[in-house]
Amino acid sequence: IEAALGEGPLSGRRIVVTSGPTHEPIDPVRYIANRSSGAQGAALAHALAALGAHVVFVTGPAAVPPPEGVEVRRVETAREMLAAVEAALPADAAVFTAAVADWRVEGAAQEKIKKVPGGDLPQLTFRENPDILAHVAALGPQRPRLVVGFAAETQDVVANATAKRDRKGCDWIVANDVSPGTGIMGGPENAVTLVTEDGAESWPRMPKAEVAERLAARIAETLA
Ligand code: CTP
Ligand code: CA
């Protein structure tokens, strides 16, 4: 792999990949977040780099470490992720695998909120976070030629993903069913449906690394 870095069908291409969860602070020791190991994002970044791409890997605090051979930009919150993605543009493609927290806590406390046993409970007010994918998909000249979103759904996967693709203005949505019981969330395998302008294409269940390789090959084909 080392020797192959920079060579291949994606040689000379710059690709931004977001990965992992974001953490939105409540106070200095508490946060809200989505469940996300960052495994699929790391696998995809690795697969793209293996095809020769220069990958800018913008990652929240993920359990899985970033792969070798990519440029890593670590962030914590959705707003930091947006800023890091913007700073990484222009790019040929951008792939959004991150499980971004949809909301942040308004006015996060600067000091640890102290528990008052039996007393008043803290009240949290939420604000909507920027939608990084939708923002990038709506860019003018700075818009990457290929913008790919992921969609974790628990029901009506194809219908929800198709609607999401339209709403976000991205080129592809990679949808997966993360219902409890599928074992996909946090597990080694994924079963995805690729939604493009041509319709929905369901791939068989396979290891996340293989999903990544197939997706990377498809991206290479499209950018060629
Ligand atoms: N996404 C993003 N910024 C956000 C929220 C989501 O970039 N603030 C991206 C994700 O990385 C993913 C895609 O948008 O590629 C879809 O995320 P998802 O959470 O499924 O979509 P939402 O529009 O947030 O819808 P919901 O959570 O209600 O299903
Ligand atoms: Ca969401």
**Spacing, Cα 97 to ligand 2 middle (Å):** 11
Find out whether the beta carbon of 133 lies less than 6 Å from any atom of ligand 1: yes
Strand partners of residue 138: none
Question: What is the CA(100)–ligand 2 centre distance, in A?
Answer: 6
* Contact criterion met (CB below 8 Å) for 174 and 151: yes
- As a whole number, mean pLDDT of residues 128-151 equals 97
Q: Would you give the end-to-end CA distance of the chain in angstroms? A: 22
Q: Is the pTM of this model over 0.90?
A: yes
Angle at 32 between CA 112 and CA 183, to 5 degrees: 140
| Tokens, residue 130 | 């920027």
Question: Is any ligand 1 atom within 6 A of the Cβ of residue 131?
Answer: yes
| pLDDT (tens digit per residue) in 90-129 | 999 999 999 999 999 999 999 999 999 999 999 999 999 9
Across the range 151-180, mean pLDDT stands at 92
90 vs 20, 103, 106, 110, 132, CA distance in Å?
22, 27, 31, 35, 15
The pLDDT mean for the chain works out to 94
132 CA: nearest ligand 1 atom: 7
Of the candidates 203, 168, 159, 198, which has an alpha carbon nearest to the alpha carbon of residue 40?
A: 203
Q: Would you call 129 a catalytic residue per the annotation?
A: no
Specify the 3-state DSSP secondary structure of 1: coil
In 179-219, the DSSP E strands lie at 189-190, 192-196, 199-202, 206-207
Say which of 34, 129, 160, 176 is annotated catalytic. 34
ipTM score of complex: 0.98
| Per-residue pLDDT, 51 | 97
Cβ–ligand 1 distance for 220 under 6 Å, the answer no
Total residues belonging to the chain: 224
Question: 162 C-alpha to center of ligand 2: Å?
Answer: 15
Environment of ion ligand 2 (residues, CB < 5 A)? 102
The predicted pLDDT at position 3 comes to 53
Does residue 25 have a pLDDT over 60?
yes
Cβ(132) – ligand 1 distance below 6 Å: yes
Angle subtended by helix axes 208-223 and 39-50, to nearest 10? 50
Predicted local distance difference test score (pLDDT) of residue 141: 95
Q: Which has more pLDDT, 174 or 185?
A: 174
pLDDT of 4 reads 60
More confident residue, 147 or 182: 147
Q: What percent of the chain has pLDDT over 90?
A: 85
DSSP assigned state of 122: P
Query: pLDDT, tens digit, for every residue of 45-70?
Result: 999 999 999 999 999 999 999 999 99
The full DSSP string for 60-111 is -S-SSPPPTTSEEEE--SHHHHHHHHHHH-S-SEEEE--B--SEEETT--SS
